[in-house]
Structure 1
Amino acid sequence: MDLDNTVLARILTSLTLGFHIIFAALGVGIPVMISIAEWLGIRRKDPMYTLMARRWVKGFTVTVAVGVVTGTCIGLQLSLLWPSFMKIAGEAIALPLFLETFAFFFEAIFLGIYLYTWDRFKNPYVHWLISIPVIIGSTASAFFIMTVNAFMNAPQGFTLKNGSIVDIQPLVAMFNPATPSKAGHMILSSYVASAFVLAAIAAYRILKGNKHEYYRKALTLTMVTGLLFAGGTALWGDIAGKYLAEYQPAKLAAAEWHFETKAQAELVFGGVLDKETMEVKYGLKLPYALSILAGSSPDTEVTGLDRIPRDEWPPLIVHYLFDSMVAIGCYLLAVPLLYFLYRRLKKGAIPRFVLRLIIGGAPLAMLAIETGWIFAEVGRQPWILVGYMKTQHAATTAGHVGEMLILFTLLYLFLGIVSSLVLMRMFKNKPAEAELRS
């Protein structure tokens, strides 16, 4: 591969987004878990749930801090690495970028109030209510930034004249056809990942022999929410599939190695592609499933890559990214069901292998977000702004992109190590059972 500026810019942007999305996903989902735990603590008069909220919010502040740094890096790189794109589309995406910043400030203000007002109110529900604006701010922040990505996939709300966009309608640009599927799927995925990260911590403590009721209650709570959010993500994935079928058929066709336009199209999982004959070998083919995904009917005609100009085909490797995301989604649905099955059969005793599956769900949930994000971006290629601007025409022509890549890689390595050490030291000598006794 020739490492020209376009390739280097894509690698650096991918690295930044891939690192940032870990903290962004936790930043969206953890506030929901905190609020639920505190509400249960008040409702049931159970200090263990209240302690969950107290401990989780401490860790949440670290993810927020790192997310701010990496989010700032993304804003910087949009201008430095993709100046032609920003020149064309900057005015159309200015409103959601501003609103995303406003939503973060809104979240940060109420997070500060939430952190420093524990036990300050006679009515504990007053403190719990402060968590709601934090959830609104974090979720709104994700929504607004996803509208920017949605605009890149389904640009509208402007007129293109002489290489510039004019007659801009910011709200029309924001609420484009891709917005519901993009924003909804990302927000629910963040909720799932956060539930499983917290579940993995509780499962790990139980696996290590800690029998305290705090961890059992935390595990049950996170498994309940994980199941609900995983189900919601799967349902929203159906919406995303129907969006792709109508508005980005090339991405769906590449994801499914669907080369021939036809009705009663099968969904292909796995397999190996013979690039000479374009035949899929060893794959699992589900009859009619792709047509049902695309239009809720086995008779729905699904556009194949035969109707897409060859130079506009996305890289066919996205098939494996799509399969990975779907497979992990099924795993995240199955594990909570298995957990509750054993709870019922064993009257609360959870086998060690189920605990290990729960622990494995945390990195897999994050991997699903990463593969989903890569699929969304690589599957849009060769376009940075679908139908209007190709990626190779948007990258900077300035030098030193390679040096920037090295510097930002070192920055993310430093942030990753430091944040991990801070989180471990924050809780290492302060187990939950000791805090309950104090």
Structure 2
Amino acid sequence: MFGIEYDAVLYSRILTGVTLAVHVIFATIGVGIPLMIALAEWMGIKRNDEHYRLLARRWARGFVITVAVGVVTGTAIGLQLSLLWPNFMQLAGHVISLPLFLETFAFFFEAIFLGIYLYTWDRFKKKIYHFFLLIPVAIGATASGFFISTVNSFMNTPRGFDIENGVLTNISPLEAMFNPATPTKVAHVLSSAYLTSAFILAGIAAFAILRGKDHVYHKKALKLTMTAATVFAISTAIIGDLSGKFLAEYQPEKLAAAEWHFETSTQAPLILGGYLTDDNEVKYALEIPYALSILAHGDPNSEVIGLEEFPEDELPPLIVHYFFDLMVGIGMLLAFVSILYTVFSRVKKWNEWNRPLLWAIVVSAPLSMLAIEMGWFFAELGRQPWLLVGHMTVSEGATTSNHVDLMLILFILLYIVLLTTCFTVLRKIFKNNPVEKELREKGLE
């Protein structure tokens, strides 16, 4: 009913969204887990504690499986960018190809040292030499996240080129890469990836303790991961505040859509939850006075631009409000849980192993990944209708192929197979080789 071109755009958006939702799971783990492995092995060497070294070894086993699946989903994204968004890639190939190339280089750099790291356990007389092999892995993982995030930043605040009579001129790859969105975008992506990875590992340790496995190994794992989570929860909150101020300056319509802020006003409140009536009246929402003005400009009396200032055909879908609320709400929960655990662990009379707190950590683990998903959906949908803000809309950048619907079905089947295989392999790896067995073998009971 919409015509071939519209259908192609719609299916392209759906397929890209599904691929992003799947890949972001493995990308987040790929960026964050190497740092956690490095922390565990460093603690093991520093304290001469084999429990921490065993933690690093077991985490590394699981990590390599997720890397393998992440390669497939990452390749799918690269393929779909060329097939589904050819007009965008034609422009991007000239302007923002540098970080795309560097991201590939960073991944190979990480993969080479990861292979060496995995096959050289107990091969060095000085354990610190083995730890040194992990440093390039962590650097490569972080660099991958950095480079690919700059591409997304470029899509939000494109710089480094001019278009004169339909021809690209004055191309500057470095200016395109280090655009105004890069600092907050990269910092938020990396910090949230570290936070999510720490909570996932903490959730596994907390669940083991709840099941009666009160070995000191699990308690050390929980303390290490929750300490890291506390640091990254605070840093993510600070960076999130800076991101709000970036949006107020460079993408005010995105911030206004996130907060259902329709009229330009001072002392603007932050709106949580609720729903919109047909005449855009907000009902049953929780309003925090002055909070949006503070988020946008750091001043409770500052003016925040409303959606009324922008053409209707350039407004993001208002559903992004819920994505934004979920992202921020879960982030606040993670900060609360991690700080609460840290306080309990520091006060001698309090018990950080109490069941309500352990269950809160277990529940927070999948919620942390959900917050990542909601953040990316907010980032991408909040940019609509633009693919490249101010230069190219989504419909202008999309393919006109008649077969995207078939691609969507095939890729969904592929992702189901990948996710099922990944879960099955990880389950078998750890079920067939439980930690209790390794603790006995190493005399660490």
| TM class, shorter-length | over 0.9
Paired position in structure 2 for 1:355: 358
Distance 2:351 2:268 in 1: 44
Q: For 2:423, which of 420, 425, 436 is the aligned residue?
A: 420
Does residue 42 in structure 1 map to residue 41 in structure 2?
A: no
Distance 1:306 1:16 in 2: 34
What's the secondary structure of 1:298's corresponding residue?
Answer: coil
Letter in 2 for 1:85: F
Paired position in structure 1 for 2:391: 388
Q: For 2:125, which of 114, 122, 133 is the aligned residue?
A: 122
What's the secondary structure of 1:88's corresponding residue?
Answer: helix
Q: Give runs of aligned pairs for residues 67-78 of structure 1, distance below 5 A.
A: 67-78=70-81
Does residue 30 in structure 1 map to residue 33 in structure 2?
A: yes
Paired position in structure 1 for 2:342: 340
Alpha-carbon offset, residue 370 of structure 1: 0.3
Distance 1:91 1:299 in 2: 43
Q: Report the TM-score, using the length of structure 2 for normalisation.
A: 0.96
Conserved? CA contact 1:88–1:164, under 8 Å: no
Does residue 153 in structure 1 map to residue 156 in structure 2?
A: yes
1:39-91 alpha-carbon deviations (Å, 9 max, x no partner): 00011111000000000000010011011111000000001001111122321
Distance 1:192 1:285 in 2: 28
User: RMSD value over aligned CA atoms?
Assistant: 1.3
Does residue 290 in structure 1 map to residue 292 in structure 2?
A: yes
Letter in 1 for 2:404: V
Runs of 5+ in structure 1 lacking a partner? none
Q: For 1:181, which of 166, 176, 184 is the aligned residue?
A: 184
Flag the 1:243–1:229 CA change in 2: closer, same or farther, 3 A.
same
Alpha-carbon offset, residue 347 of structure 1: 4.6
Paired position in structure 1 for 2:402: 399
Distance 1:162 1:146 in 2: 30
Alpha-carbon offset, residue 259 of structure 1: 0.9
Conserved? CA contact 2:233–2:338, under 8 Å: no
Paired position in structure 1 for 2:232: 229
Letter in 2 for 1:382: P
Paired position in structure 2 for 1:97: 100
Distance 1:142 1:26 in 2: 11
Conserved? CA contact 2:341–2:352, under 8 Å: no
Conserved? CA contact 2:37–2:59, under 8 Å: yes
Letter in 2 for 1:284: L
Q: Give runs of aligned pairs for residues 363-374 of structure 1, distance below 5 A.
A: 363-374=366-377
Distance 1:208 1:164 in 2: 64
What's the secondary structure of 1:5's corresponding residue?
Answer: helix
Paired position in structure 1 for 2:311: 309
Conserved? CA contact 1:89–1:165, under 8 Å: no
Q: Report the TM-score, using the length of structure 1 for normalisation.
A: 0.97
Conserved? CA contact 1:88–1:163, under 8 Å: no
Conserved? CA contact 2:256–2:306, under 8 Å: yes
1:100-149 alpha-carbon deviations (Å, 9 max, x no partner): 00000111111112112222222211211221111110010011001111
Distance 1:89 1:347 in 2: 55
Paired position in structure 2 for 1:261: 264
Letter in 1 for 2:250: Y
Conserved? CA contact 1:96–1:144, under 8 Å: yes
Alpha-carbon offset, residue 291 of structure 1: 1.1
Distance 2:353 2:61 in 1: 28
